[in-house]
Structure 1
């Protein structure tokens, strides 16, 4: 009697179910298969196929969650930039409006002063002064002053109109920028919801994979007369070897190209560094290697477990590409900084020998 496997889909995210045989064997199937060597091998192959399908689907779900998270990060950054631009334009428009009002007031005051001083009356008095040079000189001075006031009033009035036009133009630009900002706000909210849904689906897929794999590894152990833990370790070793073959694809997420993915996990760079330092000795590395590791992962991810490079989808503290490579270190790689670090240290050890070796490559090529 067999139980139908749940279709391996990430809801609404476009991850197709695995194509392999998807019926779970029962313990009765296992016992029956043991009676026949060829049937046993066939059952082993079938279980291995299902395990592979489970892992493939879980990895695809995790990778998709990272991709959606990167899309949200890009949308959020665009929203912040548009908001800043709209605010700056509005501030400049307000300043130009205030300056125009100040200039208009000053122009009005000068016009009133001119009206009180009576420029036309001064001109008539100068004409009637005749040969009285002393009186004429005084009147000329007054007339010159009035003329200057008139010029200043005209200049201030023109400046006021100019600032009024500047304010109107800036106000128009600010309104346009605000429309862009509002559209980006909607996009960012939609991207956030999609990212959260993808991550929830990925976590559910990973949990399902882990649950079924535990039972099926025990079944394999019974079929092959080996301990379940040995069977699982063997499978993990095969998966790690396959991942190591793709190490050349690791040129991803270099220098500052990451954004923070939305996540319900606690992101603690300081705690991540403390854990990494506690693991150095298990690789035979001295404390001097920590400074290289700090610089390396500062550049790659800022030691943030939710860092994603939206251009490549590299993910996590070590910026693994594809992200699901880290599943060889544990099924909780999507949300567990320590699991990411364990994978990253194993990768560095196997490829570069030490963190300083990896940092040297990073400096030379901007990736490791």
Structure 2
């Protein structure tokens, strides 16, 4: 995964700006002061100084993780807001389009009915309808029995009644067309407002994602040095210190899984992270991890159905109503940091967390799927 190079100052500026934009309130956060190698070497002079420096470094590492999680969580939240704005825009667009189509149809129907009523009026004019009525009034009773005259008079009356009905129907359709056109205009204005809101939400989501990526880059840059310094102070290896920290996080995640939760991701949208989303590759990776949890290949079909329903196996899936995120729809999403700091954009990290969660809470993917079927969440 490619990353943009950011200075620590730029990271802080973007992150603070994003958080201020998100909440409307914010204050500049001072960049942490990292120990130099000279500080570390000096601390080894006595046990108290060593422990103080160890505590300081552990605090900095925890702070890096917290800052990274906060930035990524803000990115997920902004993505959810964008997704909701986009859904509202789609609904408003569909409504405006439907109203305009109905208005056009009503206008067309009104024009047709008016044309038909006009033709009937013209026929009545040619038949001389008023002359028939006058002749009927002036004729004798014997003459009134003339079938021809009565028939002609009835035909004219029927034409008149039909014309009246057509005129009324034409007016009704015309009024309907006018009303629908007004509604369509209003709906279009609402649609334009929502389009602007969706555009603004997209820009906020993209900025938040950039801040999260920058914060993660900062974390990774400083964490490697801090782990090396920690190893020097404790006379261990940097890799050991990092693995130990990961083990502690994994143990905490396993304990949390027993009482944790994942989202019901049946209504998700794609977060604008710019990442490459590959559901097929995600499934292939997951299939290769089943054995690590003591599961057979028979569990894969349940896992596929489970995460198809939750996220479509998309690593950038976010539920706008809850901010559940990722392939496993973690809720809250920053819980996935126990599997790795790159949970925002790394499908494999998300899967590792999701499988650990399933193992701790349901025992197996089929157990999780059974719960999903019964409750629409797992």
In structure 2, relative to structure 1, the CA distance for the partners of 1:5 and 1:198 (3 Å cut) is closer
- Which residues of 2 match residues 272-291 of structure 1 at below 5 A? 272-291=282-301
TM-score, normalized by length of structure 1?
0.92
- Which residues of 2 match residues 6-21 of structure 1 at below 5 A? 8=12, 10-14=15-19
In structure 2, relative to structure 1, the CA distance for the partners of 1:50 and 1:67 (3 Å cut) is same
1:48 corresponds to: 58
2:317 corresponds to: 307
In structure 2, relative to structure 1, the CA distance for the partners of 1:123 and 1:31 (3 Å cut) is closer
How much does 1:296 deviate?
1.4
Name which of structure 1's ranges 221-230 and 275-284 shifts more when overlaid on structure 2. Answer: 275-284
Name which of structure 1's ranges 218-227 and 263-272 shifts more when overlaid on structure 2. Answer: 263-272
Aligned length: 365
Structure 1, residues 45-89: CA drift from partner, whole Å, max 9, x if none?
Answer: 111111111111111101110011001101100000011011111
Of 141, 146, 160, the residue aligned with 1:150 is 160
Is residue 16–residue 27 contact of structure 2 (8 Å, CA) maintained in 1? no
1:59 corresponds to: 69
CA RMSD between the two structures:
2.4
Q: Distance in 1 between matches of 2:224 and 2:217?
A: 11
Is residue 136–residue 144 contact of structure 2 (8 Å, CA) maintained in 1? no
* 1:241 aligns to 2:251 (yes or no): yes
3-state SS of paired residue (2:272): coil
3-state SS of paired residue (1:285): coil
1:228 corresponds to: 238
How much does 1:167 deviate?
0.8
2:101 corresponds to: 91
In structure 2, relative to structure 1, the CA distance for the partners of 1:20 and 1:219 (3 Å cut) is farther
Structure 1, residues 237-273: CA drift from partner, whole Å, max 9, x if none?
Answer: 1222333343356334215132221120122222222
- Which runs of 5 or more residues in structure 2 are unaligned? 1-6, 21-25
In structure 2, relative to structure 1, the CA distance for the partners of 1:115 and 1:347 (3 Å cut) is same
Is residue 117–residue 146 contact of structure 1 (8 Å, CA) maintained in 2? yes
How much does 1:21 deviate?
9.3
Displaced runs of 4+ in structure 1, greater than 6 A?
Answer: 15-21
Is residue 265–residue 324 contact of structure 2 (8 Å, CA) maintained in 1? no
Q: Distance in 2 between matches of 1:138 and 1:361?
A: 82
Name which of structure 1's ranges 235-244 and 167-176 shifts more when overlaid on structure 2. Answer: 235-244
TM-score, normalized by length of structure 2?
0.89
* 1:320 aligns to 2:340 (yes or no): no
Q: Distance in 2 between matches of 1:210 and 1:138?
A: 103
* 1:28 aligns to 2:38 (yes or no): yes
Q: Distance in 2 between matches of 1:236 and 1:51?
A: 12
Is residue 252–residue 312 contact of structure 1 (8 Å, CA) maintained in 2? no
3-state SS of paired residue (1:311): coil
How much does 1:288 deviate?
0.9
